[in-house]
Amino acid sequence: MSFELDLATGLLALLVFPGFAFLFVYGLTAEYLDRKLYARLQNRVGPPPLQPLADFLKLLAKESAVPEGATARIYNAAPWTGLAGVFTAMLYIPVWSERAAFAFEGDLVVVLFLLSLPSFSLFFGGWYSGNVFSRIGTTRTITQLFGYEIPFFLAAFAPAVAAGTLSTSGIAAFVAANPWYVAVLLPAFGVALLSLQAKLERIPFDIPEAETELATGALVEYSGRKLALFRLTKDVELVVGAALLSALFLGGPAPAGVLAGTAGLAAGVVVFLAKTLAVIALLTVLKAVVARLRIEQMVDVFYRVLVPVALAQIALVLAVGLYTDGVIL
Amino acid sequence: MSIPGKLVPEALKTLGKDNATVSYPKDKRTMPDRFRGAVEFEPEPCTGCGMCERHCAADAITVEADADGNVTWSYDVAKCMFCGQCEESCPTDAIVMGKEFELAASDKPSFEESYTFTR
Amino acid sequence: MSEQSAGTEIPVGPQHPSLKEPANFTLNVDGEVITGAEMKLSYNHRGIEQAVLSKSYIEAIYLLERICGICSHAHTSAFTQGVEELLDLEVPPRARYIRTLIGELERIHSHMLWLGVAGHEIGFDTLWQYAWRDREIVMDLLEEITGNRVHYSINTIGGVRQDLNDDYREAILDGMDDLEERIDFYRNTVPNEETVRMRCEGVGVVSEELAREYCAVGAVGRASGVPTDVRKDAPYAAYDDVDFDVITDDRGDLLARTVVRIEEIAQAIRIIRQVAERIPEGDLKASAKPPQALLAQVPEEDVVSRYEAPRGELVHYVRADGTDTPARVHIRVPTLANWPTVVESLKGSYIADTPIVVAGIDPCISCTSRIGVETDGSHGGENAFDLDELREYGIEWYDERGNVDRPSTEDDGRTVADGTEGERP
Amino acid sequence: MNPNQLKSDLDERLEDVIAASGKREDGRLEFVLADRADLPDGVSRIRDAGITHLITITGVDGDEEIEILYHFLKYGEYDDGDLSEGIELTLRAIVPKEDPTIGTITDQIPAAGLYERELMDMLGVEVPDHPNPEKLLLPDDYDGGPPLRAENLEVSD
């Protein structure tokens, strides 16, 4: 294919479809659906559809001050790094077909790294905004990061071991090819769900910005445009996390592959939306039915319960692999 | 250690329930008939005895009678705490607790009302 | 009492996210664990005890009613029952039954309000929304019967001002049926939800010995095994004619207080049903004479009137000097008696537990601000950290994180819950 | 144990420290301390009689002297769900205005710490050797006289 066409489709992918524009709209929609379902679960009315957009625009209009004690360069740069990481991660996750916009052997590791960028941007932003409460909030963010990152990687590697590839597209194709693997990978899916909930700092793991405790978390000194970007990062991270989970564990655009041509692509997108919304709904129900844990309980649960489950899952996948290859009967 | 999530059945059931809240001011609740809103005063039966003023803990009512017998009864809804003691203490039932509860106003003087009559 | 141990001093409040009322807690913290605590509460002392001296007994009812927005009936009942004792007035049974009914309805809505606040403090917002939605059953009943959701103003010297006709009794009995269904839901789910247990079990423990030493009252005392209930040990209104149980628990932690309060709602429903079914006929006031006539012959005596408010034993001491205004009114609110137990139970808990431990006694700051309290805890040498030291301290503390064992606080002379205090399940 | 038995028991225990004792028709017992210096001794004897619950401490400014009332409660017997009636009793101490001090009982009953501080703020009665004599009700920088003292009361009818 000619270079110009490559560049055009690359830019199109980056700026429009699975990239910026789509994620911006889908991120805000996901936030609306999350807040609405959460409200309905609590017998509340919930926000109007355009509320997240209104919040975003309002924050853009507000003054974005830099606190005196802050280290300005890092304080200002923090929101952008998280957002950039999350947007680029989306490019490596299959959406309309089993192949993502860009795919290469090992892009699963890239996606996992890019998905942890927002937590680091939160840490740097909070630590360098010169406020003792945000510092305590950031130490909790990092403690929580140590808690959920290991189980998250282990859970993500389970399907990689099963599929024998480190490419999300390859994994999605493999699971699409043998759908019964979705059942095999269910424990890893559970671990990944809880880790994603912790990564997004949502109840029961919203300890770093627990509203009723010490004070708010790392973002206490942020306002205006920068705060809007941080909130957008969290919305998009929710969507990208759900997309990654549906690609790794639910077989990406599984049933859509049967249709050929553009109908298949369209069906792929519809299936993608359905699966990601299902994952987001699961996270919302989880958020509605439990209380917030303390930081040491969170770390305790992740290391004492989730890491063993993830390890057992990888053992199970290995056993199933050997069994299907006929090595053991 | 039991599995968290005891509330899941209840939460899912709540999805079906209709709103617990009323979207005021579009549709307003009807106040129960014993509801105590702003005081409504009927000058006709009033004898100017001042019992309401004496028993009003919030000093919201003032009753003045001048030499030649005309009485001014004045009431400040901003001070009133709607306890209903004036209605109870009034020997001639000239005071009744109304149903009006939307009492916000932007000009302070509009809170006061007064009646002048001769006895 | 609490010697000054090393560690950071973190101020919480008076404007802080967990308690929307002005109370300040200075926590001596060693990492995530609180080693010492002090409270300062006198932020809006309103001088009600002085103001009430220039009010007549009639007006005093409405002033004292506004000491607190959640237990206003408690204050008016305690005060009017005290004055009735002074005047030797025999309150007719029907009025006593109605007073009991409104008192128990108030206990239910106060406990459900607490259940919601406690849920919010531990991040369980769904429980908060459900508890406050179900509370509306009782609030609507109160508004129908008395004319107001909060300050019912149903008490007057010698009886009550509103009657209870038949369709109100029907409404009450139906309301209690719906409410009982909801209370069964809370009874089965809240104490058994694992995340609630993790945040409340073994947290903010007050041993029975500590509760007795600090004369804890109400649900705080009862959840630590101290059976105090003014409705039984000095029955007033109609509590002689109704039967109900005093709920006690011996664990003394937050879970015990939650369970005790939910059970007390169930007992309150039981009482209300008995009152609604067996309320006798009769007039509403002790004598037909208007109040000012009654108050002409007030003897020169004093009276200690006790009442079981939702938060515990409320005491109104009234001294009369023959005139129609009281000579002295001293009010000891239940929250004041429970504040010292908060300081003791904060020690050894985590910072994250502060809001729920403070909310554990169901504090009513507006009651306390009629009078304020700041417990002991010497103002030892300020050894606060500055920012850099705090950062070192935090990083160093988190380096050996993982399973954080709670530092032993034996030397603090506080009885620490044995067994698993460090090991959360 | 009914109020009369408790009264006779306490009359005997407190006989050399109290000037008078009585029983109100609502069953509340009353003991008047002969000399306010005997307060700690009187309270320890009351505690020996098995009464641990201090309800509160009330101060009343009686023009010539200040009356301080210590209200106690003897718990009723509790057997699973049912609690028998308790007995209230009040220990009354008289403090002359010119030397308004009273001994502390916080060492015996820690809960008294708060009530004594309320007494100090509101009526200006000094309680020496109180573990934490900070302001309880009033702002730290409050300099007006004790608000509930007769001279500071602006009682308007």
Best probe of the B interface among C56, C57, C58, by most B CBs < 10 A, is: C58
Q: Looking at the partner chain, which of A215, A289, A297 has a beta carbon nearest the beta carbon of C126?
A: A289
Which pLDDT band holds residue C19 (cuts at 50, 70, 90)? Answer: low
Is A137 in a helix, a strand, or coil?
Answer: helix
CA dist B53 → B56, B111, C59, C152 (Å): 5, 17, 11, 21
Tokens encoding A4? 């110009």
Indicate the residue of A212, A288, A299 with minimum beta-carbon distance to C18.
A212
Q: Which residues of A273-312 are buried (b: 16+ CB within 10 A; e: fewer)?
A: eebbbebbebbbbbbbbbbbbbbbbbbbbbbeebbebbee
pLDDT tops 80 at residue C400: no
pLDDT score for A36: 95
Domain that includes residue A315, residue range:
3-324
D85 reaches C (C-beta below 8 A) = yes
User: Average pLDDT of C87-97?
Assistant: 93
Q: Does A71 touch chain C (CB under 8 A)?
A: no
Are A217 and A209 spatial neighbours (Cβ–Cβ below 8 Å)?
Answer: yes
Which residues neighbour C171 within 8 Å (Cβ) at sequence distance 6 or greater? Answer: C141, C144
Average pLDDT, chain B: 89
Query: Under an 8 A CB cutoff, do B57 and C136 touch?
Result: no
A42 to A48, A280, A285, C249: CA distances (angstroms): 16, 17, 10, 31
Ordered domains of chain D (ranges, CATH): 3-111 (3.30.460.80)
Looking at every residue in chain A, the average pLDDT score rounds to: 89
Q: Is residue A78 part of a domain?
A: yes
- Is C404 or A176 the better-scoring residue by pLDDT? A176
Mean pLDDT check: name the lowest of B82-86, C2-6, C200-204: C2-6
Residue that wins the pLDDT comparison between B95 and C362: B95
Cβ atoms of D10 and D89 within 8 Å: the answer is yes
Q: Hey, which of B26-30, B94-98, D76-80 has the most confident mean pLDDT?
A: B94-98
Q: Tell me which of A291-300, C412-421, D42-51 is least confident.
A: C412-421
Check whether C169 has a pLDDT greater than 70: yes
Look at residue C415 in the predicted model and tell me its pLDDT.
Answer: 33
CATH 3.30.70.3270 fits B35-118, yes or no: yes
Contact C404 A296 (CB under 8 A): yes
Cis preceding linkage at A204, omega within 30: yes
Residue type, A176: A
Predicted pLDDT at C412: 35
Closest approach of C252 to chain B, Cα-based (Å): 21
**Structural domains in chain A (count):** 1
Q: Do chains C and B touch (3 or more CB pairs under 8 A)?
A: yes
Q: What is the pLDDT of residue C4?
A: 41
Of A63-77, A245-259, D5-19, D84-98, least confident by mean pLDDT is: A245-259
Share the mean pLDDT of chain C: 81
Cα A301 from Cα A298, distance rounded (Å): 5
Residue A158 CA: distances (Å) to CA of A97, A107, A112, A153, B72:
22, 15, 14, 9, 87
| Pick from C119, C123, C353: CB nearest A204 | C123
How does residue C380 score in pLDDT terms, banded at 50, 70 and 90? very low
Structure tokens belonging to residue D9: 């028991």
Q: Hunting for tokens 């790794």 — which residue is that?
A: A248
Place of tokens 């627990």: A210
* CA distances to C222, C253, C344, C361, D79 from C211, in Å: 9, 12, 10, 12, 19
pLDDT attached to residue A302: 95
**Residues in chain C closer than 8 A to B88 (CB atoms):** 156, 161
Complex ipTM value: 0.90
The residue with tokens 């053991």 is A328
C131: which 2 tokens?
């508890």
Select the more confidently predicted residue: A231 or C390: A231
Q: Over the Cα atoms of chain A, what is R_g?
A: 20
| Cα–Cα dist D116/D112, whole Å | 6
A213 and C404 within 8 Å at the Cβ level: the answer is: no
Chain mean position to CA C108: 12
- Inform me whether the pLDDT recorded for C44 exceeds 80: no
Q: Which two tokens stand for residue C330?
A: 């001293």
| H or E stretch at A205 | none
Tell which residue, D26, D25, D31, has the closest CA to residue D9: D31
Mutation target to probe the A interface, by most A beta carbons within 10 A, among C8, C34, C124, C397 is C124
pLDDT on residue C343: 82
Across the interface, whether the CB atoms of B84 and C58 are under 8 A apart is answered no
Which residues in chain B are contacts of A44 at CB distance < 8 A? 19-21
Chain C residue whose CA is closest to A137: C394
Digit-coded pLDDT (tens) for A95-147: 887 788 888 888 999 999 999 999 999 899 989 988 877 887 888 889 899 99
Which range (A101-110, A227-236, C15-24, C388-397) has the least confidence? Answer: C388-397
Chain B interface includes A62 (CB < 8 A): no
- In chain A, the residue whose alpha carbon lies closest to the alpha carbon of C396 is A139
CB contact under 8 A, C193 and B6: yes
Q: Is residue A329 in some structural domain?
A: no
Structure tokens at C175: 């309301």
Which positions in chain B touch C161 (Cβ < 8 Å)?
A: 84, 88
Q: Which residues have CB under 8 Å from D135's CB, separation 6+?
A: C42, C374, D117, D121, D142
What single DSSP character describes residue B113? Answer: E
In chain C, residues 191-230 whose CB comes closer than 8 Å to chain B: 192-195
pLDDT score of A280 more than 80: yes
Q: Indicate if the pLDDT at residue C391 is higher than 60.
A: no
* Sign, Cα dihedral of B91, B93, B94, B96: positive
What are the two backbone dihedrals, phi and then psi, of residue C132, each rounded to the nearest 5 degrees? -75, -25
Question: Is chain C in touch with chain A: ≥3 Cβ pairs within 8 A?
Answer: yes
The listed range with the strongest mean pLDDT (B25-39, C100-114, D12-26, D88-102) is: C100-114
Chain C stretch 127-146, residues whose beta carbon is closer than 8 A to a beta carbon of chain B:
127, 130, 133, 136, 143-146
Residues above pLDDT 90, as percent of chain C: 48
* Closest-approach residue (CA) in chain C for B87: C161
> Which residues, 6 or more positions from A2, have their beta carbon under 8 angstroms from its beta carbon?
none
Contacts of C154 in chain B (CB under 8 A): none
Query: Residue C185, exposed/middle/buried by CB under 10 A (0-12, 13-18, 19+)?
Result: middle
Query: Is D75's CB within 8 Å of C227's CB?
Result: yes
B and D touch per CB criterion (3+ pairs under 8 A): no
Q: Look at strands D87-96 and D29-33 and give their pairing.
A: parallel
Q: Does A50 touch chain B (CB under 8 A)?
A: no
Find, among C220, C213, C214, the residue nearest to C248 by Cα. C220
Closest-CA residue of C relative to D109 is C213
Tell me which residues of chain C, numbers 17 to 46, contact chain B at a CB-CB cutoff of 8 Å: none
Phi, psi values for residue C18, rounded to 5°: -85, -35
Amino acid sitting at position A160: A
In a domain, A134, yes or no: yes
In this prediction, the residues of chain D whose per-residue pLDDT falls under 70 are 154-157
Where residue D53 falls (left for φ over 0; alpha for ψ -120 to 50; beta otherwise) is: beta
Closest CA to C390 of A35, D14, A134: A134
Q: Three-class SS of residue D96?
A: strand
CATH 1.10.645.10 domain span(s) along chain C: 48-368
Residue C398 confidence (pLDDT): 58
Third-level CATH fold of C48-368? Cytochrome-c3 Hydrogenase; chain B (1.10.645)
Q: Is the pLDDT of residue A163 over 70?
A: yes
For CA atoms C281, C285, C286, C288, the dihedral sign is negative
Distances (CA, A) of B66 to A214, B59, D48: 62, 20, 67
pLDDT confidence band for C5 (50 / 70 / 90): very low
Q: In what order do the strands lie in the sheet with C328-332?
A: C302-309, C312-319, C328-332
Please identify among residues 8-47 of chain A the ones whose CB lies closer than 8 Å to any CB of chain B: 40-45
C304, β-bridge pairs = C317
Residues of C in contact with B89 (CB under 8 A): 58, 290-291
Residue C370 C-alpha, separation from nearest chain D C-alpha, in angstroms: 8
Q: Where are the beta strands (DSSP E) in C190-348?
A: 302-309, 312-319, 328-332
To 5 degrees, how large is the angle CA B38–CA B44–CA B49? 80
- The answer to whether A300 faces chain B, any CB pair under 8 Å, is no
More confident residue, C2 or D71: D71
Interface contact flag, C375 D113, Cβ < 8 Å? yes
| Greatest distance between any 2 Cα atoms in chain D | 51
Q: Is C423 helix (H, G, I), strand (E, B) or coil?
A: coil
- For the record, the structure tokens of C196 come out as 């609630």
Burial class (CB in 10 A: 0-12, 13-18, 19+), D15: exposed
Question: Within 13 Å and on the Cβ side, how many CA atoms surround C141?
Answer: 29
Q: What are phi and psi of A122, to 5 degrees?
A: -65, -40
Chains in contact with chain B (at least 3 beta-carbon pairs closer than 8 A): A, C
pLDDT, residue A324, reads 83
Cβ–Cβ below 8 Å for A44 and B20: yes
- Smallest CA–CA distance, residue C189 to chain B, in Å, is 6
Among A41-55, B8-22, C337-351, D23-37, which stretch is predicted with the lowest mean pLDDT? Answer: C337-351
Nearest to B81 among C62, C126, C291 (CB): C62
**With an 8 Å Cβ cutoff, are D53 and C372 in contact?**
no
Indicate the SS3 state at residue C312: strand
* % of chain B beyond a pLDDT of 90: 40
Q: Is the pLDDT of residue A149 over 90?
A: yes
Name the residue among C58, C126, C195 with its Cβ closest to that of B11. Answer: C126
pTM assigned to the model: 0.88
Structure-model confidence comparison of residues D76 and C116, the more confident one: C116
Residue C98: its H or E element: helix C93-121
- In terms of CA atoms, which chain A residue is nearest residue C124? A291
